[in-house]
A and B are shown apart, each in its own frame.
Chain A
Amino acid sequence: MKIAYKKYTFLLAGLVLLNSSCKKFVDINEDPNNSTSPQLNLLIPSSQISMVGNMYQLNSGASTLVQHTIFSTPLSRFQQTGTSFNDSWNGFYTQTLNDIETVITAGTTSQQWGYVAIAKLEKAYLYSIMVDMWGDIPYTEAEQGAGNTGPGLEKGDAIYAKLFTLIDEAVVDANKVTGTSLMVAGGTDVFYGGSKASWIAFANTLKLKMYNQVRLVDPAASTAAIRTLVASPATLIGGTGTANTTDFSFKFGSNASPNNRHPWHRSEYQGSKTFYMSTSLVSGLIANDDPRVRYFVFRQVANVGANNSTGGNGYYGREPGDPTSVPADLARRSTFGVYPAGGLYDNAPISSGLPATNVFLTNTGATGTLKVVTVNDGGGAGLMPLITNSMVKFIRAEAALTLGTETPAAARQLYMDGITASFTNIASVTGVAFPAASVTGFVAKMVAQYDATDDAGKLNLIMSQKYIANYGNGMESYNDYRRTGLPVLRGLASPLNVFPLRLYYSDTELTTNSSLLGNASALQVAQQITPVFWDK
């Protein structure tokens, strides 16, 4: 037995030895595939791309509500669900804002103020849009990870107030970068190539847009702030001209793999399709002799008409709120054109339906042909117009008209510049020029209508032209419509609910956020009928 005990001792000794040498053996839980430290120059472009990528669902849905396009039948009938906008909500919070907060935290520590300034401005912009869309959202308690697993909702007006402060902070941070025109390295900023001046213009313009957005609830504050901002128009997006070089627009690429194309192009330039063109918008453009319709819409078949019939002019889309089931018309329905989706320019003759009085939208020079679109048609390097020069001009015109922030003459000029800037933007993005005469001629025609009407009519014209110029950004038109009720939209063929005053929250949020779970269902359905704080 003695021998046996000795053996045990050896065995135990062996095991103990083995144990101590095993620490290294199991020290392998650091992910060998991914970086463990944040890199600001890579996080900033990531936040910009993910912001726009995550907007696809939100923007398409909002565009449907304002009849820019028809993304989903239930939404076009004003019926929302908890999955209508969940991708956007989830993506904003978990990708975009997450990276933005990382940049702010890490950049502040390492005093990289250029990155910090960009991050803060993106944060202010995105949260302002989110408030506009959803009303009350998590803000102060958000983005804290394990620190707060059930962030509560915060009132929209409170968030707006904090955002104004945040924009000012960002400008201070930006001004800490001195001695260079670039705040960050050019290749790391998809929007402005690092230009400090552009970002400061963006900061000012964002404030302008937000103060205009809240003008109904606090006209005095809005008036004062807007007056200050428009006093130096050169420091706004677009400056004093009609060019689009400082637009806060996101330019997509044309690579299919990895896919950098405009989501609308990707969705529609293939066999299956999601969207219908809105007959409300398209017929309005044609009736108004607006040449932009050839940029916005591409027809696949020349003679298809309503309900997939033959004998139409090819602008076969859907009436907002049409409840009927979808026929097999994927190779026949009209689809997105060259702007903003980066598809094809429709330069084919329009066989019927063109008013004889048309001057700008005619078949003159219409030598193109139509085709069933395929995946590489047009290249897909489209545009997401977030805040454009044209929008700035219309905002200033609206404020001038309603708050008196600028003179009536200035308002008239801004209205004209807004239309011109829209044409300029479309032509420069697509590379397909308008005949010069058609731009000036169209503007002249529109300004004649402006001059001929009263203030209410003028506002209607401003908002209607802004609505057309906004095409591609339904979110801003959705804001404008709720604020002004303009332009007057078509009544729905078969609505399932009233016009949504706010969007539905993400189902994911409602079913996981412990501070919301209790009355999630009531909270959700109330969104449809509860106005956002600025909506009076």
Chain B
Amino acid sequence: MQKCKETRKVLSIQLFRISVLLIVSLITFTGISLGRSLPAESVLNKRLSINLKEVTLEKALINIQNKTGVKFVYSSTLIPLNSKVSVDASEEKLSNILNKLLAQLNIIYSVNAGQYIVLKKNQLAFADSLNVADLLMSNQQRTVSGKVVSKEDGSPFPGVSVVVKGTKNGTVTSADGAYKISVPGDQSILVFTYVSYQTQEVPVGSKSVVNVQLSESANALSEVVVTAAGIKREKALLGYSVTTVSSDKLAQKSEPDPLRALTGKVAGVNIQSSGGVAGGGTNINIRGNSSLGNNNQPLFVVDGVPFDNSSFGNVGSNGVGGAGVTNRAFDLDPNNIQSMTVLKGAAAAALYGSRAANGAVIITTKSGKRGSMKGTEITYSSSYAFENVSGLPEYQTKYGQGTNNDYRQGVYGSWGMPFVGVPSVLPTRTTIPHQLARSFSSAIFPEFYQADGVTPIQVPYKSYAKENVSNFFQTGNVFENAVSISSGTDKGNFTSGISRTENTGVVPENGITRTSINIGGNIKLDNKWYASGSMNYVKTTQKTPPISSNAGAAGSIMNALMYTPTSFDLTNYPFESPIDGSNVYDYTGQDNPYWLVKHSPSTSDVDRYYGNFILGFDPLPWLNIQNTAGFNAYSDSRLNVRGKGSSFYPNGSMTLDNIYRQELDNTLLATITKTINKDLNLRWILGNNINQRLTKRTVFYGDGIIVPDLNTITNTSSIVPLQVLNNRNEIKQRFYAFFTDITLDYKNFLSLNLVGRNDVSSTLPANNRSYFYGGANGSFIFSEALKIDKKIISFGKIRAGYTRVGNEATPYLTNTVYLSNTQLGAPSGVGAIGTPFTYTPIGSTNSITTNTSTQIDILANSNLKPEFITELELGGEVRFFDNRIGIDFTYYNKKSTSQIFTVTAAPSTGYTQQILNLGRATNQGIEIGFTATPIRGQGNGFNWDISSNFTRNRNKINDLGNYSQFTYGGPDGISSVHMVGQPYGQIFGTAYARSPAGDILIDPNTGKPLTSGTLKAIGNPNPDFIWAMTNTFSYKNFTLGIQIDWKKGGDLLSNTVGNMYSRGVTRDTENREFQIVSPGVYGNVNTLLPILDANGNTIPNSTALSYEDHFFNGGMGPGGVAEGSVLDATVFRLREITLGYAIPKDLLKKTPFGSAFISLSARNLWYKAPNFPKYMNFDPEVSSLGVGNSQGYDILAVPTTKRFGINLRFSF
């Protein structure tokens, strides 16, 4: 027995080494070959020179792997890796070398699945090596067969190692996932292992067929991730935190926006959508905002090429505002995403340079994926989802339109008389004159008048609150269809796909469709060259009625919808004039939402092309040279229509906005991979990157629509060009960079990575435009190094990194310019005078046209320097009990220095904005990933996985030079402020005047609160933490996933809530027939100091207000001072439930399908924002300012939606 124990120990060590070897081979394979596939024959025909004497087989195999890029697969227990071997060959075929090498050990080999060289013990010799027990058992041997498929998509799984537990007996699955193995008896357990998949142990019992589904292991020991510049590294060895989200977690979740689909799935990432608009902008930031003034969105890289995620705001005064504008990551179809890797820290992103200072999202598309399998596969997927507004307020149904408890027509408040039957001391009435008769004569609506044509008819005075808003919103839907084809041969492979997504929003006439076509392929050339390329075309069209209520914007559907007077029958009253189709509403100057939906559409047509071409060369076994040329361009043609007959602007107008954006990128990489000695491996990458970004924009304004509803710019009576911001129609920037990345791996448990990069950016002045940065990070897998018992600590590592990343500026900040014929006067509204200026002098009859030029009001900075972000990241990852419990912990401290700010300048300096180059801000945070498998299913048994992540980021402005605060963003009402010692980007607005003790000061004359003399920081939009948990249950063919999340804190200035309070429409203001006294003390309106009594004490407020006044403008509630509308946006949410079912193969036998998968999904089923007024039912996951650094505002946003979907996927 002593011997047996020892054997087992050796075995376990071997197992460990084997798995490590496997990993190494995988990494080496993927690393050196950069993912291209190696056809079987060429593998064996590959020639190499090798000279090894008396080394272990393991070392020999590693050596061959390093030189050829082949990958060996073998059963850990079968191959005697410690046996000494010798081989001497010069430019010989690999097959010959393997023959020489393996014959010594009685090992045979075969090429499997076109990619792997599978090593097996020669069966004849096999029995000799078995011990007596094995020999005895072998008497009862029988054959078991089966098929291994991927749990995610049911596709066949080649190359899976199948071993009879406790023996050396093993095999590998074939290309179609099938295997056949001899087992000693019914007690046998088969162990299925594959890199980065969960190992499964299945008792054989009396079965002769054992089919297995392998599922990806979230924290697999040997997960390989794509890091910066397309470099693949083993996750276990990384010195920094990354998270990869695979396709199955993104696609078919009834969420057409790839960014929103990511919500809650990655620690450290904060995603904020802009409400329930189909195609609304989605803001994403990683580890908090670090740049005080610049872009804080991460860099998107698709198949190695930067992918623009801009969100262009509308120009002119009739735009639909931020929330209606899509950010262009929407052009990515989640169905075509193979994986999304989020590189969170500076360390991870250093190689992308400036633009990845805020992290990077590296996306591999299915078409861009290299190295697919042999054979042809066709996958078809289809899904349908419907969506509804997730929460509407609970409206009060007791009081109608009016003020002061009196019915008042035309008033947009519901503080009127109670309805008949409502218990009240107030008088009531049964009918009112038809509301529309007030503004529309009998010439237009004779039916609203009595026979005399003057006296309006009476209509019932009753509540329509329950139906008005809910009737307006419709059931939206998402319909997705995708087909993809991939086909491979020994020489290369080809993928192609087409998909279409249609999302009809809950707002009528709001929708977005996306059609994408992609083709990709790669080919191995005979003379050490290889090439690959992909090409994508995406057409995205969006249509939306005006939904934003930003200051200066035209009428919006949301302007008054949520607080429609409760006794106004919005649903059934006409919304357009039967005579000329003009707007009909009882709120002059504001269009009826139904009218806007019909007559004021905004459309956007995006044509996007992107692709890459990769050419690689392996001149020497240890050297790879690869060039990636990529392009990414789109044109967005927008037409914003303000319909003819609008109350807001009766003549109607259109704005045509053509945006062209182009990005060209080229990366040249030389990769040197060397084994320095037995334990030390080096990989050294040298690279060059050249990039150009260009934006061209032309905007035309057409005034006066000629024929209604003919929406083309030529159908307007005058067309003039509109200037975009600062007249910058064309913006171009370039950079080039040299970089290096050095990785040293010692014995596969210690890794050191050094990166360095020098950027030269066109956006900086010549003397400052070149800047160097870099960093170091390392990892130590202590569980390996200390050989800790895997049953207890399966994996343990610590990692550390310190990186500095430079960040360039935006173009044209270094020179003062003069704008020709720009708009002069007030920034917007009627005080803004257009030029050229045409006028007729007094006493003259001839008009004069005068051109103008004005100095730009941005104070340029000719000494601009790059800004830097330095980040210290410490972390560790430990998994216990056979990977059943895992914790991944990261702490980071990110310092941003010498920030390039565009901040609001003191106007008296002569400028509205100044470009500064100073300041220091820190983001400190922790990210905790937690995984557990409380119940681990065997085979088809019940399995329960928990995956959870926690993100807590604290940001602080440490220094702003000589300044104490900087404001930025929009005008008052939507601006943000940075203040020294306080968090990033606080909400800036009117605040209550307070006594020194902090009590709100009350005006003794009005009983209303006093406003402080100047604007203040009134809320912090940064959440305290974000926590999400996904539970996945699987049993047999069923999989159930439930994701819940909790965003704690983060303030929101909610205009929706403020308005609904002050208009008295929800049940929060139903109990109203009494007066209230606001808490506070009396204050002096001019000194803003408390009024003191004879004893010098403050005087508590005792001035009573009606409930209406309390909430109405200037009141105590959220209808008054902005501070009153700031609420804590803590929200609990049931984000996602999916139930999947893989249709059993035997049911599909008579169909053409190889596999079929059906799932049901539901998103945003339930939420609770405990700090919002109860009956508002408000979902704070809205952001009216769309994408940018100003957050924390809800300006009458469209409510969020909940979706239910059904998804089907077939593969042939």
In the complex, the answer to whether A145 meets B909 with C-beta atoms within 8 Å is yes
> A495-521: contact bitstring with B at CB < 8 Å (1 yes, 0 no)?
011100000001111111110010011
CB within 8 Å of A: which B962-990 residues: 962-967, 972, 977, 988, 990
In the complex, the answer to whether A34 meets B817 with C-beta atoms within 8 Å is yes
In the complex, the answer to whether A49 meets B825 with C-beta atoms within 8 Å is yes
- Residue A305 interfacial (CB < 8 Å): no
Set of chain B residues within 8 Å of A149, measured between Cβ atoms: 905-906, 909, 914, 962-963
- Residue A26 interfacial (CB < 8 Å): yes
Among the stretches A53-61, A174-182, A344-352, A393-401, the one at the interface with B is A53-61
CB within 8 Å of A: which B990-1006 residues: 990, 993, 1003, 1005-1006
In the complex, the answer to whether A15 meets B856 with C-beta atoms within 8 Å is no
- Residue B455 interfacial (CB < 8 Å): no
In the complex, the answer to whether A511 meets B965 with C-beta atoms within 8 Å is yes
Among the stretches A96-104, A156-164, A440-448, the one at the interface with B is A96-104
In the complex, the answer to whether A42 meets B1014 with C-beta atoms within 8 Å is no
* Docked CA distance A38–B820 (Å): 11
- Residue B83 interfacial (CB < 8 Å): no
In the complex, the answer to whether B825 meets A325 with C-beta atoms within 8 Å is no
Set of chain B residues within 8 Å of A25, measured between Cβ atoms: 690, 734, 736, 762
In the complex, the answer to whether A271 meets B730 with C-beta atoms within 8 Å is no
Known: A34-B727, A381-B840. A514 touches B855 (CB 8 A): no
* Docked CA distance A53–B826 (Å): 6
In the complex, the answer to whether B728 meets A33 with C-beta atoms within 8 Å is yes
Set of chain A residues within 8 Å of B33, measured between Cβ atoms: none
Known: A187-B848, A328-B410, A328-B411. A255 touches B1015 (CB 8 A): no
In the complex, the answer to whether B839 meets A525 with C-beta atoms within 8 Å is no
- Residue A144 interfacial (CB < 8 Å): yes
CB within 8 Å of B: which A163-178 residues: none
CB within 8 Å of B: which A441-462 residues: none
- Residue A322 interfacial (CB < 8 Å): no
In the complex, the answer to whether B850 meets A187 with C-beta atoms within 8 Å is yes
Among the stretches B8-16, B503-511, B648-656, B1090-1098, the one at the interface with A is B648-656
Closest chain-A Cβ to B61's Cβ sits at a distance in Å of 24
Known: A34-B726, A257-B720, A267-B830. A90 touches B907 (CB 8 A): yes
Set of chain B residues within 8 Å of A95, measured between Cβ atoms: 824-825, 854, 857
Among the stretches A114-122, A219-227, A229-237, A246-254, the one at the interface with B is A246-254
Among the stretches B214-222, B516-524, B808-816, B1150-1158, the one at the interface with A is B808-816
> B746-781: contact bitstring with A at CB < 8 Å (1 yes, 0 no)?
000000000000001111111001000000000000
* Docked CA distance A328–B814 (Å): 50
- Residue B833 interfacial (CB < 8 Å): yes
Which residue of the partner chain A has the closest CB to B1114?
A74
How many residues of chain B get a CB closer than 8 Å to chain A's CBs?
A: 129
Which residue of the partner chain A has the closest CB to B833?
A53
In the complex, the answer to whether B837 meets A33 with C-beta atoms within 8 Å is no
In the complex, the answer to whether A49 meets B1013 with C-beta atoms within 8 Å is no
- Residue B1112 interfacial (CB < 8 Å): yes
In the complex, the answer to whether A529 meets B1086 with C-beta atoms within 8 Å is yes
In the complex, the answer to whether B728 meets A514 with C-beta atoms within 8 Å is no
Among the stretches A79-87, A362-370, A481-489, the one at the interface with B is A79-87
Known: A98-B911, A193-B841, A511-B1014. A256 touches B906 (CB 8 A): no
In the complex, the answer to whether B412 meets A328 with C-beta atoms within 8 Å is yes
How many residues of chain A get a CB closer than 8 Å to chain B's CBs?
A: 129
- Residue B164 interfacial (CB < 8 Å): no
In the complex, the answer to whether B910 meets A93 with C-beta atoms within 8 Å is yes
In the complex, the answer to whether A247 meets B842 with C-beta atoms within 8 Å is yes
Among the stretches B459-467, B585-593, B597-605, the one at the interface with A is B585-593
- Residue A288 interfacial (CB < 8 Å): no
Interface class of chain B by DSSP: loop
CB within 8 Å of A: which B765-824 residues: 765-766, 769, 811-812, 814-821, 823-824
Known: A34-B726, A190-B850, A328-B409. A86 touches B909 (CB 8 A): no
Known: A15-B738, A28-B762, A91-B825. A36 touches B815 (CB 8 A): yes
Known: A81-B1011, A514-B963, A521-B1088. A46 touches B762 (CB 8 A): no
Closest chain-A Cβ to B713's Cβ sits at a distance in Å of 13
In the complex, the answer to whether B990 meets A81 with C-beta atoms within 8 Å is yes
Residue among B733, B840, B853, B855 having the largest count of chain A Cβ atoms under 10 Å: B853
- The contact of A263 among B816, B830, B1005, B1012, by CB within 8 Å, is B830
In the complex, the answer to whether A509 meets B906 with C-beta atoms within 8 Å is yes
In the complex, the answer to whether A521 meets B853 with C-beta atoms within 8 Å is no
Known: A507-B972, A507-B1014, A511-B965. A93 touches B827 (CB 8 A): no
- Residue B670 interfacial (CB < 8 Å): yes
Set of chain B residues within 8 Å of A49, measured between Cβ atoms: 824-825, 833, 835, 837, 850, 852
* Docked CA distance A365–B403 (Å): 42
Set of chain A residues within 8 Å of B834, measured between Cβ atoms: 255, 257-260
Set of chain A residues within 8 Å of B908, measured between Cβ atoms: 93, 137-138, 141-143, 151, 509, 513
* Docked CA distance A57–B912 (Å): 17
> B361-392: contact bitstring with A at CB < 8 Å (1 yes, 0 no)?
00000000000000000000000000000000
* Docked CA distance A346–B842 (Å): 21
- Residue B686 interfacial (CB < 8 Å): yes
Set of chain A residues within 8 Å of B727, measured between Cβ atoms: 33-34
- The contact of A258 among B439, B734, B817, B823, by CB within 8 Å, is B823
In the complex, the answer to whether A52 meets B651 with C-beta atoms within 8 Å is no
CB within 8 Å of B: which A109-162 residues: 137-138, 141-146, 148-151
Which residue of the partner chain A has the closest CB to B816?
A36
In the complex, the answer to whether B909 meets A46 with C-beta atoms within 8 Å is no
Known: A53-B824, A187-B848, A258-B720. A37 touches B818 (CB 8 A): yes
In the complex, the answer to whether B1086 meets A497 with C-beta atoms within 8 Å is yes
Set of chain B residues within 8 Å of A255, measured between Cβ atoms: 834, 838
* Docked CA distance A146–B915 (Å): 10
Which residue of the partner chain A has the closest CB to B827?
A87
Set of chain A residues within 8 Å of B1011, measured between Cβ atoms: 81
Set of chain B residues within 8 Å of A375, measured between Cβ atoms: 649-651
Set of chain A residues within 8 Å of B1085, measured between Cβ atoms: 496-497, 525
Known: A89-B907, A245-B842. A53 touches B647 (CB 8 A): no
In the complex, the answer to whether B410 meets A329 with C-beta atoms within 8 Å is yes
What 5 pairs between A and B have smallest CB-CB spacing? A53-B825, A258-B834, A328-B410, A272-B589, A56-B831
Given contacts A256-B718, A266-B830, A374-B651, 14 further A-B contacts (CB under 8 A): A33-B729, A34-B818, A38-B853, A83-B972, A101-B910, A102-B855, A149-B906, A149-B962, A187-B850, A263-B830, A271-B648, A272-B648, A508-B907, A520-B1014
Q: Which residues of B contact A (CB under 8 A)?
A: 403, 408-413, 438-439, 586-590, 620, 623, 646-651, 670, 686, 688, 690, 701, 703-704, 718, 720, 726-730, 732-736, 738, 760-766, 769, 811-812, 814-821, 823-827, 829-843, 847-848, 850-857, 859, 861, 903-912, 914, 962-967, 972, 977, 988, 990, 993, 1003, 1005-1006, 1011-1015, 1085-1088, 1112-1114
26 pairs from A and B in contact (CB 8 Å cutoff) = A4-B623, A25-B736, A27-B766, A29-B763, A29-B811, A35-B818, A36-B816, A49-B833, A52-B833, A146-B859, A151-B909, A247-B842, A253-B838, A254-B838, A256-B703, A257-B701, A259-B832, A270-B589, A272-B648, A273-B589, A328-B411, A329-B410, A428-B843, A511-B988, A522-B1013, A529-B1086
Q: Which residues of A contact B (CB under 8 A)?
A: 4, 7, 11, 15, 18-19, 22, 25-39, 42-43, 45-47, 49-50, 52-57, 74, 81-83, 86-91, 93-95, 97-99, 101-102, 137-138, 141-146, 148-151, 187-188, 190, 193, 244-245, 247, 249, 251-260, 263-264, 266-267, 270-274, 308, 324-325, 327-331, 374-376, 381, 383, 428-429, 496-498, 506-514, 517, 520-526, 528-529
